Structure 1
């Protein structure tokens, strides 16, 4: 049992080592082993109270008593809210638990978080994902080590069978909680354990090995996708012609990698995009959180925020970035020598949707055009033509998102003036929020 009692992942440079501690057999054994091994470091037991079981309060007290008996610090968080109608209780609890564990670890000064998942957990996860039709990312199951927002999540016992953990706990006379929800057939993992696991138990090691192969395959797929996307992506545009020149497998792989940071991907959406796109066509597909647009043989993502219909009064007379959250962007205001709008005009603006009679003049001496014509002349994509219009106190157009300032609103020569520029949220640098002006 010596290898169980000395987790190889312990980082001696960490100011603290955190252990996810539910009070069950596995986490009790892990906390005991870590407390014995990490004598030179603080050990912090992190407990999440889900609020789902009547006995949860007594479990928390048990965990606190056990942690202190082992010389570990104890921190607990109770999840707020409850699953929404139709939402999986398992998914809700897992998401809340992960967030709580991360926040508690950071607050405790620990950048290493140990979890007690073992080989059977890994094999079960692989089976569940396979039965759901998951790809290599899903069948990779649980990683042994992973950084998440500054905290390293490590599963030091992922290769160990549960029988060894049970023997370790019994040898040291440990006491743990038996959660009755582990036998509740409403949960997919419990149904698998009751109905299918007896037939697969003898193949536990093979299933866990299959998960490791899936992890390698997924890592390779990500490397290939990264190389392909370097050639396929320019700014917010994915080159659809070049994408379709790839082999079917690389084409699907690259598209998934491009979509992944923006939405929850479904195989049906990927298939539709690959099958339905036609060169030169203007197309759109609904997607989680927004829409995907094909335009001039490029694919673009646009968030699904609804365009506000009500007008609003704005004072943009101060320099800085004036965020307009309902519109998915904001106005950047900066002083300029010429070709800007007088500050007196910026103090009394109305922000509204485009009207049927609106016109825009690009430069001094040019002919005013309808907004439709102006957007076409500047090659503004169709889905970016619904941004806000700014009008002065007399209703005259001052600036239009995607087009810029109307030349008719420019200040007179030698009059102090300011530039107005619309920036979408997706185009903002990470530090943009530092100069935000409340508008």
Structure 2
């Protein structure tokens, strides 16, 4: 490149960062994701020139995947110091058996570590160095994977993840060749990651084997794919707006925890799948594949055809540790746990209570918690009741009854489970007895009939304990 083109490239890079800076408060701290490669090195150098070193912090993630990782860390620390920029680094370990692959695992770990480092430094935005070539590669990869509109929208210039600082990509419309020109013009030094030449990785194979041939026949492919991404993002925004409208109609009660089964299956497939996808995102679940969503909708429609009651029956859709459920006409996600085998009868467990706060019951996959409380707590019992006889946890044998405090009558567990809206799959819980007296039923509460004399003299009893049952997955 000529000196004139180097100057043009420098202006393009600085102009791109100037636009991003104009959207930030003048005193806001900017975190730069700094790997030490060409892209992030140019981003850091240009950010310091425009915003000043005091407004920047360079964040480095050490994956440990390369034998040169320690040298890269040292290079990044030294460069940041030379620029007068605060520097922080975080080491991460990747799960070797991650089903998404090394690339996806490294990306997930990197974003997680960067987000965690932003908070202690007070950074109000995280700048990433992806550029126009990266965007073109992403669009092509998503096309080849059969992605939908959300995938084709590729990387957004600004994205605010839930609970994190905004991720800003100011170089998304800048070509890699322009970054190289900037680096040469300003004497920016960078490192080369040897893994970038490994064509076993899909992105590298595309970059080295496909894009050069594509560029020879379609020189403007980057701009064309960027337009495709923009069109897809626009269309996805419209779909999200439609999903918001539908979700408001489907939501049961406040929030979006559960939706109406009847109203969901009344929608056509495209609209139902769109709102299901949006609903999962709103509840904090990661995106599911199109095949899994389609299977979930198919099963929900079959429930409606079976008996029209919206019962759970054989509904089986698991995703990200959650299981799709349908109960009393409401569809929701609950903890995924396998039921105990019917032949695996559990022997009663016994505890002589001497002030313990937890009683772990692995055979029930959960724990009783005895927390200090006062007599006004509806799930509290006097400590004298916990000590006067051994506590026993055992299975239902049939015929057990609990005094319903609201109605002041004795009712069967089946009646109370139904009254409290406890689905059948959540009723496999241990009953807590004080000697032979039923004391507490998880998901229902304390049996007030167990201590009428204590209630009458509650003011004279100094120590009470609130009883809770926590499933293992709740504790995790």
Q: TM-score, normalised by structure 1?
A: 0.84
Per the TM alignment, residue 219 of structure 1 is displaced from its structure 2 partner at its CA by 2.1
Kept in 2, the 8 Å contact 1:111–1:150? The answer is: no
Residue ranges of structure 2 left out of the alignment (5+ in a row):
1-9, 341-345
Taking a change above 3 Å as real, the CA distance of residues 313 and 423 of structure 1, as seen in their structure-2 partners, is: closer
Distance in 1 (alpha carbons) for counterparts of 2:375 and 2:354: 12
Q: Note closer, same or farther for the CA distance 1:16–1:366 as it changes in structure 2 (3 Å cut).
A: closer
2:126 alignment counterpart = 113
Structure 1: distance between partners of 2:274 and 2:327: 21
Question: What secondary structure does 2:59 align onto?
Answer: strand
Distance 1:9 1:214 in 2: 22
Match of 2:7 in 1: none
Aligned to 2:5: none
Q: Structure 1: where are the runs of 5+ without partners?
A: 434-439
Identify which of 219, 225, 231 aligns with 1:207: 225
Distance apart, 1:40 and its partner CA:
7.0
2:250 is the alignment partner of 1:250 = no
Contact (CA 8 Å) 1:351, 1:388: kept in 2 or not? no
Secondary structure at the aligned position of 1:45 is classed as strand
Q: What's the offset of the Cα at 1:220?
A: 2.1
Q: TM-score, normalised by structure 2?
A: 0.78
Tell me which of 381, 386, 401 is aligned to 2:442.
401
Are the aligned partners of 2:53 and 2:84 in contact in 1 as well (CA < 8 Å)?
no
What is the number of residues matched between the two proteins?
Answer: 424
Counterpart residue number, 1:63: 76
2:327 is aligned with 1:287: no
Q: Distance in 2 between matches of 1:36 and 1:321?
A: 58
**Pairing 1:301–2:329 present:** no
Identify which of 255, 259, 265 aligns with 2:280: 259
The 5 Å alignment of 1:323-402 reads: 327=366, 334-336=374-376, 341-346=381-386, 350=391, 352=393, 354-357=395-398, 359-363=400-404, 366=409, 369=412, 371-376=413-418, 378-392=420-434, 394-402=435-443
Aligned to 2:39: 26
SS in 2 for 1:285: coil
* Contact 1:291 1:302 (C-alpha < 8 Å) held by counterparts: yes
CA distance in 1, matches of 2:377, 2:184: 79
In 2, Cα distance between the equivalents of 1:316 and 1:323? 15
**Greater displacement, 305-314 / 165-174:** 305-314
Post-superposition offset of 1:420: 5.4
Q: 1:220 aligns with which of 227, 230, 238?
A: 238
The RMSD of aligned alpha carbons is 3.4
Relative to structure 1, the CA distance from residue 147 to residue 340 in structure 2 (aligned partners, 3 Å threshold; closer, same or farther) is closer
Note the C-alpha offset of 1:56: 1.3
How far apart are 1:125 and its partner, in Å?
0.9
Counterparts of 1:74 and 1:314, CA distance in 2:
55
Q: Within the alignment, does 1:4 sit opposite 2:13 as a pair? A: yes
Secondary structure at the counterpart of residue 335 of structure 1: coil
